[in-house]
Structure 1
Amino acid sequence: MKTSTTTALVLSVGLLLTGCAQGAPEATPSAKPAQGAQHQTQAQALTATDTWAKAAESGMSAAFGTLHNNSETPLELHKVSNAAGDEIQLHEMTGSGQDMSMKQLEGDLVIAPGADVVLAPGGNHLMFMDLKKPLVAAQSTTLDLEFSDGSSTEVDFAIRNFDGAKENYDEHAGH
């Protein structure tokens, strides 16, 4: 009798566990978090590399680098500022060759999911419009990148001498 009671108990526990397991979903490595489970801001999803700014005593200058989106949703860079209070605009290049000119980007700079946006001389860049203090080579400047969700992150840009990228403004861009 003792053996049949033990056997019945083991079978009951086994059936109970099997019944509980039937309704549980299987976990897979490709499973994604439930919508809303990821609380990452746009700023937290950004990786900035190879960042640098052109040295300048006054007037205009520019900042460059690579901005990478580590998330599965677009990042929308809305505004760039610094502690000096410089006006810093998002600029794009238009035209080619001698007809190359720059103008302020209309709207946000969008970085696609998993993609890079390269800010480079002769291409998209961050433009200092009227420096309040010099950008001195061998030092660095910190820019605050603000995104459309209201999040922001500070990024350091090494300052170096650069004699290229002598583009012109688009006469119709309002500058």
Structure 2
Amino acid sequence: MNFRKTTALALGLGLLLTGCAQSADGQQPGPATEQKTTRQAEALTASETWAKAAESGMSAAFGVLHNNSGAPIALHKISNAQGDQIQIHEMRGTGNEMTMAQLEGDLVIEPGKDAVLAPGGNHLMFIDLQKPLVASQTARLNLEFADGSSTEVDFPIRNFDGAKESYDEHAGDEHAGH
């Protein structure tokens, strides 16, 4: 066989095989086979959500936030279309000495665990409502996570007279009460 034909055939066959090469898992190499990581927002399941009705001032939102992933997720920021200032609040102290204050840092939810947001416990706090939260309507909140992903969660609004917490005046904004 002619040397030139053999070389051309070998090069052509090499290029053809390279173009059809597959990785060990049977997929084409490149960006399509890069390991996909779950965005934190995709790992969240929200249940039992609701927000306290209020005409003005402050209010709060509650529910259960579950992490379905194998890695911690960190709730970083909460917002809504009305532009309300919404903070993650925690309860500090014990017994009759409990006060509420803005959580320093993110609300971290461990793998497979829940963050329970409840009256008298951790919750999402509306600081200065731009519009009333009206019972039987729904507040849609945008939950943003530390990795930049976000998801919208509906919080049905209902009347609630409980949870007359006091506020820690040394933890950021001073609050006068609900």
Match of 2:126 among 125, 128, 136: 128
Once residues 163 and 93 of structure 2 are traced to their aligned partners in structure 1, the CA distance between those partners, rounded to angstroms, is 14
Once residues 157 and 101 of structure 2 are traced to their aligned partners in structure 1, the CA distance between those partners, rounded to angstroms, is 23
Who is 1:140 aligned against? 138
Alignment of 1:46-85 (within 5 A): 46-85=44-83
Could you tell me how far 1:152 is from its partner in structure 2? 0.1
Match of 1:168, SS state, is coil
Who is 1:31 aligned against? none
Alignment of 1:1-175 (within 5 A): 37-174=35-172, 175=174
Could you tell me how far 1:144 is from its partner in structure 2? 0.1
TM-score calculated relative to the size of structure 1:
0.78
Amino acid at match of 1:54: K
Once residues 165 and 79 of structure 2 are traced to their aligned partners in structure 1, the CA distance between those partners, rounded to angstroms, is 23
Q: Which structure 1 residue ranges, 4+ long, deviate > 4 Å from structure 2? A: none
Structure 1: give runs of 5+ residues left out of the alignment: 1-23, 26-35
Aligned Cα root-mean-square deviation (Å)? 1.6
Could you tell me how far 1:87 is from its partner in structure 2? 0.1
Structure 2: give runs of 5+ residues left out of the alignment: 1-23, 26-33
Question: What is the number of residues matched between the two proteins?
Answer: 143
Once residues 46 and 60 of structure 2 are traced to their aligned partners in structure 1, the CA distance between those partners, rounded to angstroms, is 16
Once residues 107 and 95 of structure 1 are traced to their aligned partners in structure 2, the CA distance between those partners, rounded to angstroms, is 18
User: CA-to-partner distance for each residue in 1:17-48, whole Å, 9 max, x for gaps?
Assistant: xxxxxxx99xxxxxxxxxx6233200000000
Identity %: 73
Once residues 50 and 164 of structure 1 are traced to their aligned partners in structure 2, the CA distance between those partners, rounded to angstroms, is 17
Once residues 57 and 96 of structure 2 are traced to their aligned partners in structure 1, the CA distance between those partners, rounded to angstroms, is 23
Match of 1:44, SS state, is helix
Who is 2:12 aligned against? none
Amino acid at match of 1:173: A
